Amino acid sequence: MTKVTVPPIKCQGIKTKLIPFILDWVQWSGKGKWIEPFLGSGVVLFNVKPQKALVSDTNEHIIRFYQELQSGRINGLVVREYLENMGKQLKSEGEGFYYATRDNFNQNGSPLDLLFLSRSCFNGMMRFSSKGKYNVPFGHKPDRFTKSYITKIVNQVEKVRTIMRDKDWEFRCSDWKETLAQAGCNDFAYLDPPYIGRHTDYFNKWRDEDSTELANRLNNLNCGFALSMWLENRYRKNDYIQKHFNNTEIKTFNHYYHVGASEDQRHEMIEALVIKRGHVRIPKDSLPVQKGLL
């Protein structure tokens, strides 16, 4: 691939810089459907560009945003007008306007407000309280929405809309178990769950028991899958992968972790891609790979 498609929604853990690594190892004929039970920003989906997909997340706000983008209720023109207006008010009123918008979002759940908050909050994070309220503080940049920055976001919106246009994609707000249960033998599942031992809940709780159940279900899945997970950093290793996927193909990539609140918390991370049932690099002329996948 020559250029990574960047999604309009920002959140921690986004895989933008890992896309070439992920797509380099995922091999799939394109038959069946692409399944993602932890959609997040959607960056992997928008770069794989499968013809058919079932994608989900428990974060209803992300799902609603992409549903409205898919339906056309949100488009580049709508986003430009909205962000120009919001940007002017943010520049004029500062953090008070940010927190008023956050309160409004927590009451009404506007998809456009989610876009604004994800671009003006602290460090591009997405985090919700135990009551489901968006609680990321202001990013202290009242002049954030310059003309060029708005155009950049609009272009991202239109790019994703173009990718969606001829696709059979279902965006569903549901638990990962329900989505993964829909997998058939011709499907391929990509999973980017909360990182064990490193995750600050971005919408709901993720327990050790959930991680164990996920591993058990993946090891009994009737189709190919790729699982993104951290493997180690300068301080420790993740024994989850060795414990549950010791006999599975594992590929690694050194990645700089940018989400820490301060520079001394941002360290190099070795990311792992756990791949099962032969879905690894093989000669391109020996497997029909769907156009746009690699």
Tell me, what's the pLDDT at 123? 86
Q: State which of 105, 130, 160 marks the end of a domain.
A: 160
With a cut of 70, say whether residue 264 has pLDDT above it: no
CATH number of domain containing 231: 3.40.50.150
- From the list 162, 112, 122, the residue with the least C-alpha distance to 9 is 112
CB 15 within 8 A of CB 192: yes
Q: Do 53 and 188 have their domain in common?
A: yes
Q: How far is CA 188 from CA 9, 33, 86, 290, in A?
A: 24, 7, 40, 12
Q: Do 87 and 54 have their domain in common?
A: no
Q: How many domains does the chain have?
A: 2
| Pairwise CA distance, residues 196 & 211, whole Å | 7
Average pLDDT, the chain: 86
Q: Domain residues for 178?
A: 16-58+174-286
Q: Do 80 and 54 have their domain in common?
A: no
pLDDT tens per residue across span 26-37: 878 888 999 999
pLDDT band of 204, cuts 50, 70, 90: low
- How much is the pTM? 0.86
Q: Do 180 and 269 have their domain in common?
A: yes
CATH number of domain containing 75: 1.10.1020.10
